[in-house]
Amino acid sequence: MSDKPQLIIINTGSTSTKIARFIGGNLLEMETIQYSNAELAACSTINDQIPLRRAGFLKFLADKKIYWEKVSLLVSRGGIGRPTPAGAYLIDEAMCRELLSGKFGTHPSALGPAIALDLAREYGIKSIVIDPPSTDELQELARISGLPEITRKSAFHALNQKTAARRLARELGKKYEDINCIVAHLGGGITVGAHQKGLVIDCTNGLSEGPLTPERAGTLPTTDLLNLAFSGEQKNPLMLKIVGRGGMTAYLGTKDARMVETMITGGNEKAKLVYEAMAYQIAKEIGSMSAVLEGNLSGIILTGGLAKSDMLTAWIKKRTQFIAPVFVYPGEDEMLALAEGGLRILNGEEELKKYPAD
């Protein structure tokens, strides 16, 4: 085992930092550091959290007696940066500068690359990100919105969608670049993507399009949305209503699918209607993406946390299995996905790219 590459993974989320050590493709240990509201509130900006997050990361390394001279690669979840094709990108100063500036969006995922770059320089190792959330491979047809002033943008669960599609390809005995498939990531955010020969040529935007989700409204009737916007609603509260307090939360007062299923089994017809409507809308998006691929696809994948729901996946399958076989890969394992991406770089299976900053 000692001759296998050792990878350290860091994934900074909204309220936690996940850290893991992999030997080859095997997880050796993992820890999730949760931060209290008080700890986060003490930081005026997201960037002010770097010392807090870095200290926790270093403590994990010290507690696990991880020595940098034995680390082959440091891999971080990517941040919201410049739209780029999927792949592995070397973390450099230009990338971190843009992520921390919030030029393309502000999210704590920017902190991981910044911490990784700092430590990689200090200890002389390479640090990379894999399939960042700003991954953009849309075909030009998919960018047209209906108004010249508005261009459709790529924003989806690139890391988990790509990982699930690669898993399907392996099960079929093929390469990801040789298959077409549709992947529906089902979680707090839901995105449905059309994967064609290794590229996501169309996908719903996780913040502004697609089906309703446990906490997001998804696509809304435009004129009704305008009427709501001009009814006295201010922009920020309206945005929170759409992304954060929309979807199931708005209808049922909870984003917890397990609670909703309990309500349904208890005879709550409204809960059943809303939950099934979410499945209905997911199925509609899958149908749309099948048209993008002209019906030429090897399978439909349901993945993410909500794919653990037999009730939800059964409804989706019922409406989509006529298109192609449906594969259910419940949950998401971002840490493993990041490690697998790192191994592809170490094994020379994928080319390491440079972040295209100005």
Q: At which residue do the structure tokens 């498939």 appear?
A: 181
β partners of residue 327:
301
β-bridge partners, 130: 77, 88
Over 90: is that where the pLDDT of 243 sits?
A: no
pTM of the entire structure? 0.87
In the chain, where are the structural domains located? Answer: 6-136+335-354, 158-331
pLDDT digits (tens, 9 = 90+) for 6-20: 999 999 988 889 999
The token pair at 74 is 């440091």
Lowest mean pLDDT among 7-11, 276-280, 281-285, 333-337: 333-337
| Cα distances (angstroms) measured from residue 75 to each of 10, 18, 119, 277, 312 | 6, 12, 12, 38, 34
- Taking only the tens place, the pLDDT of each residue in 144-153 is 998 899 999 9
Q: Using CA atoms, how far apart are residues 302 and 281, in angstroms rounded to an integer?
A: 14
The residues facing 77 across adjacent strands are: 130
Taking only the tens place, the pLDDT of each residue in 65-93 is: 998 889 999 999 999 899 999 999 999 99
Pairing status of strand 16-23 against strand 6-12: antiparallel
Share above pLDDT 90 across residues of the chain, in percent, rounded to a whole number: 81
pLDDT at residue 2 in the model: 57
Please tell us whether the domain made up of 158-331 is placed in CATH 3.90.650.10. no
Amino acid at 199: L
- Strands 26-34 and 299-304, by their bridges, are unpaired
Contact assessment for residue 163 and residue 270, using Cβ atoms and an 8 Å cutoff: no
Starting at the edge strand found earlier in the chain, the sheet holding 16-23 runs 26-34, 16-23, 6-12, 73-77, 127-130, 88-90, 352-354
Average pLDDT across the chain, whole number: 93
Tell me the fold of 6-136+335-354: Nucleotidyltransferase; domain 5 (3.30.420)
Identical topology for domains 6-136+335-354 and 158-331 = yes
By DSSP bridging, strand 127-130 and strand 299-304 are unpaired
Can you tell me the mean pLDDT for 157-163? 93
